[in-house]
Amino acid sequence: MYDIFSLKDFKMPDGFLWGSGYAGHQVEGNNVNSYRWHNEECGKTLERSGLACNSYELYREDIALVDDLGHRAFRTSVEWSRIEPEEGVFCEEAIDHYVRLFAGLKEKGIKVFATLIHLSYPLWFARLGDFRDTENLRYFERYLEYTVPRIAPYVDFWNVLNESNMSGEQSKLGAVHFHALGYHIIKKYSSAPVSSAHALVQYVPQRYHDRWDRAMAEIKDLEYNEYFFHAIRTGEIVFPNRDVVLAPDVKGTADFWSVNSYVRDMVDARKSRLNGKRYDCKELKLIDMDFYLEEMDPECLIANTTRLTDKPVYITENGCSCDDDRFRIVFIALYLSALAEAIRMGADIRGYLYWSLLDNYEWTSFKPKFGLCGCDRVTFERTPKPSAAFYREIIENNGFDQSILRKYLTEMPSLAKK
């Protein structure tokens, strides 16, 4: 049991970078040339994104909001499907938009984390086989050669790809080559550090001492995590049941580890897909739908970051989806405490970006609400929540103390029906 009022005070190292983020397709609206928009039109999602948060038009309001909340870093993406809506046809207005967005952040003194592919890309590229086919590297190269020089003056940190390790086997292995190509092209135009955001999930055996569950958890870790880290470190792409691929151009293509971390996953060797069930004693149903974040597990941040001791680490995503904002306050405090613990244990963690700034379109639905700020679905008015003010004080203090917490919570929140 967690009691947030017993949490010890902690400080982050001097110079620690605090911020937040969001992604293009989730907030911009009318991303009509993306394959995701096409999937929405075909009824493959619960809801359609539509205008989302209308951030393509209201990006200046978002910049002001980031600044007002005290965030000194912001992560967002450019949308390839806007920049190259048809194969070989580039949109000058779109690239100018992203230049204005990044320049506006820089004018406020906010560090820019730019993601070049954030789970969305043009429909025409998807129809060619996307990242599964390395023949498509030439299309990616053309997109990067057009885009990177234009935005490079404003970018402080780069993510080539976002969470490509969570895709299918062929896509994740192909994406290693796309990542490496992105790294080398960026380095032609920018001295800023480069990585790709990795969904670092801790795979845990359903039955802790069961040899089958433990073995399958280890295999899942190899298939979703270690194949990528090993490729970057050595230039070897090693994957279960495949011959090794030697890729010297991949070696060393990350200047920092970009970590997206939320919760653990249970591994059950008695299930064909290994999909174990979280323990009932930890289930925390924070929204009115089945969702993958139905527990708080701050310990996963310690496990995930202390395995990456060879490079600096930035947490580029970590957040709580809940209807009751009080749980978000608890989540932020607990996970930041775990992050401070990992730093004490030797992890070189240099920044934390909360996910996300706004309640946005969560790929299939608007129901999951991650935002520090609400967004009215009709007027698009942005409204900071108490968690946003709590996080702002954490930033100002460069750490947590009980006096901050007790301004925003008087008791532990509960899901008990009244």
Name which of 248, 221, 223, 222 is nearest 233 in CA terms.
248
- Residue 86 sits in a domain whose CATH number is 3.20.20.80
Q: Average pLDDT for residues 118-126, to the nearest whole number?
A: 98
Q: Which of 63, 152, 138, 76 is nearest to 108 (CA)?
A: 63
Nearest-angstrom CA–CA distance, 372 and 65: 11
Q: Please state, in angstroms and rounded to a whole number, the distance separating the CA atoms of residues 217 and 184.
A: 33
Give 3: exposed, middle or buried? Use CB within 10 Å, 0-12, 13-18, 19+. Answer: exposed
Q: pTM for this one? A: 0.97
Segments forming the whole domain that contains residue 176: 4-408
Average pLDDT over residues 26-30: 98
Residue 232, domain member (yes or no): yes
Query: Tens of pLDDT along 32-73?
Result: 999 999 999 999 999 999 999 999 999 999 999 999 999 999
Rounded CA-CA distance 12/344 in Å is 10
Does the pLDDT at position 119 exceed 90? Answer: yes
Question: Are the C-beta atoms of 277 and 206 separated by less than 8 Å?
Answer: yes
Please state the rounded mean pLDDT for residues 237-259: 97
Strand partners, 403: none
Segment 151-201, tens digit of pLDDT: 999 999 999 999 999 999 999 999 999 999 999 999 999 999 999 999 999
Q: Are 391 and 354 in contact (CB under 8 A)?
A: yes
Evaluate whether residue 413 is within a structural domain. Answer: no
For the chain, helix (H) and strand (E) counts, in that order, are: 14, 16
pLDDT(417) > 90: no
For 355-383, write each residue's pLDDT tens digit: 999 999 999 999 999 999 999 999 999 99
What is the DSSP code string of 32-47?
A: TTBHHHHHHHTT-SSS
Residue 52, in any domain of the structure: yes
Chain-centroid distance, C-alpha 343: 20
Residue 16 · residue 350 · CB < 8 Å: yes
Alpha carbon distances (Å) from 102 to 149, 154, 196, 241? 13, 6, 19, 43
Q: Assess if residue 326 is contained within a domain.
A: yes
Q: What is the pLDDT of residue 418?
A: 43
Residue 417 inside a domain? The answer is no
Question: How many folded domains does the chain comprise?
Answer: 1
Phi, psi angle pair for 280, to nearest 5°: -55, -35
Sign of torsion over alpha carbons 178, 184, 190, 193: positive
Q: Sorting pLDDT into bands at 50, 70 and 90, what band is 2?
A: confident
Establish if 415 belongs to a structural domain: no
Does 198 reside within a domain? yes
Q: Grade residue 222 by pLDDT with cuts at 50, 70 and 90.
A: very high
What are the angstrom distances between the C-alpha of 418 and each of 304, 321, 409?
A: 38, 21, 19
Residue 414 lies in a domain: no
Beta strand spans in 173-301 (E): 194-199, 202-205, 236-237, 245-246, 257-260, 264-267
